[in-house]
């Protein structure tokens, strides 16, 4: 379990993946956040990194808060909103903790890599040992800190792992520029498929 002793990750709004994203995105970049929620990350990027920040959010209540923060967000469904955009419209397209909820993730990833030069994709790792143990010993759909929902009201419809994503990227000929694995606020350096709670990939078309 030596992975537990990696370096600490800077958190933003209590989230390690947001912290990483805030460091990865260069100042002045044009960023689209798919599922931007209440727009905290985008507003932070606009304020601190002078980012041209755009968002898409399906929940009207969250969207209202995002716009009230001054974020250029609109009501839309991730799976249909990307078609309107021209190629390479954004420096980064963010998909944070949403990939596992999308009906056709491969199509969305292809669209993302069309409209963005790079994608930053963060998702919960279903290969995490606690999930494996819960499934193995309880014999039920895993319900853990990472996947806290009952199977019948979970937004998650795909249970992908770090390795699953790496294999898909290789098959699709995507270039994984950077990869980060998080356990709480620590970065995991070894056995990520077993030890990472959250994976963050920076992906581009090869």
Partner 1 sequence: MVVTTQHKQFPSLELESGIVLAPVDVAYETYGTLNESKSNAILIVHAFSGDAHAGGVDAEGHKGWWDNMIGPGKGFDTSKYFVICSNVLGGCKGSTGPSSINPATGQPYAMSFPVITIGDMVRLQKLLIDSFGITRLLSIAGGSMGGMQVLEWAVRYPESVASAIPIASTARHSAQQIAFNEVARQAIMADPDWCNGNYYNSKPPGRGLAVARMVGHITYMSDESMRQKFGRRLREDNGIFEVESYLRYRGSQFVDRFDANSYLYITKAMDVFDLANGAQSLVPVLAKSRTRYLIISFTSDWLYPSYQSLEIVSALRRRNQDVAYIELTSNYGHDAFLVEVDEQADLIRGFLSRTMKENEKR
Interface with partner 1, residue 118, by CB under 8 A: no
* b/e map 143-155, b = 16+ CB within 10 Å: bbebbeeeeeeee
Half-sphere exposure of 80 (CA within 13 A, CB side): 5
Q: Backbone phi, then psi, for 24, in 5-degree steps? A: -70, -45
Interface with partner 1, residue 91, by CB under 8 A: no
Whether the CB-CB separation of 74 and 36 falls below 8 Å is answered with no
Interface with partner 1, residue 200, by CB under 8 A: no
- Residues in contact with partner 1, total (CB under 8 A)? 23
Binds partner 1 by CB under 8 A, chosen from 24, 72, 79, 179: 72
| Cβ-Cβ contacts under 8 Å for 109 (sequence gap 6 or more) | 99, 119, 121, 172, 174, 203
Interface with partner 1, residue 64, by CB under 8 A: yes
The least CB distance from residue 26 to partner 1, in Å, is 17
Task: Give the binding range for partner 1 (CB under 8 A) out of 82-90, 166-174, 187-195, 196-204.
Answer: 82-90
Task: Give the binding range for partner 1 (CB under 8 A) out of 46-54, 121-129, 157-165, 195-203.
Answer: 46-54
Binds partner 1 by CB under 8 A, chosen from 90, 92, 174, 181: 90
Q: What is the 3-state secondary structure (H, E, C) of 97-126?
A: CCHHHCCCHHHHHHHHHHHEEEEEEEEECC
Task: Give the binding range for partner 1 (CB under 8 A) out of 52-60, 120-128, 181-189, 198-206.
Answer: 52-60
Interface with partner 1, residue 69, by CB under 8 A: yes
Q: How far is CA 17 from CA 7, 37, 68, 136, in A?
A: 14, 15, 24, 28
> Would you tell me which residues interact with partner 1 (CB under 8 A)?
30, 46, 50, 52, 54, 60, 63-64, 67-75, 81, 84-86, 89-90
């Amino acid at each position: 379990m030596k992975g537990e002793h990696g370096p600490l990750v800077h958190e933003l709004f209590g989230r390690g993946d947001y912290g990483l994203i805030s460091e990865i995105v260069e100042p002045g970049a044009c960023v689209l956040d798919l599922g931007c929620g209440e727009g905290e990350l985008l507003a932070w990027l606009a304020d601190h990194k002078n980012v041209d920040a755009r968002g898409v959010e399906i929940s009207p209540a969250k969207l209202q808060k995002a716009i009230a923060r001054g974020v250029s967000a609109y009501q839309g469904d991730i799976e249909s909103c990307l078609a309107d955009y021209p190629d390479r419209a954004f420096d980064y397209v963010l998909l944070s903790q949403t990939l596992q909820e999308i009906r056709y993730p491969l199509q969305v990833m292809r669209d993302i890599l069309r409209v963005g030069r790079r994608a930053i994709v963060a998702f919960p790792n279903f290969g995490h040992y606690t999930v494996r143990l819960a499934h193995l010993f309880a014999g039920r759909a895993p319900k853990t800190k990472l996947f806290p929902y009952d199977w019948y009201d979970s937004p998650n419809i795909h249970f992908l792992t770090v390795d699953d994503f790496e294999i898909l990227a290789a098959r699709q000929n995507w270039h994984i520029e950077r990869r980060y694995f998080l356990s709480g606020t620590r970065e995991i350096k070894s056995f990520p498929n077993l030890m990472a709670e959250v994976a963050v990939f920076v992906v581009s078309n090869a």
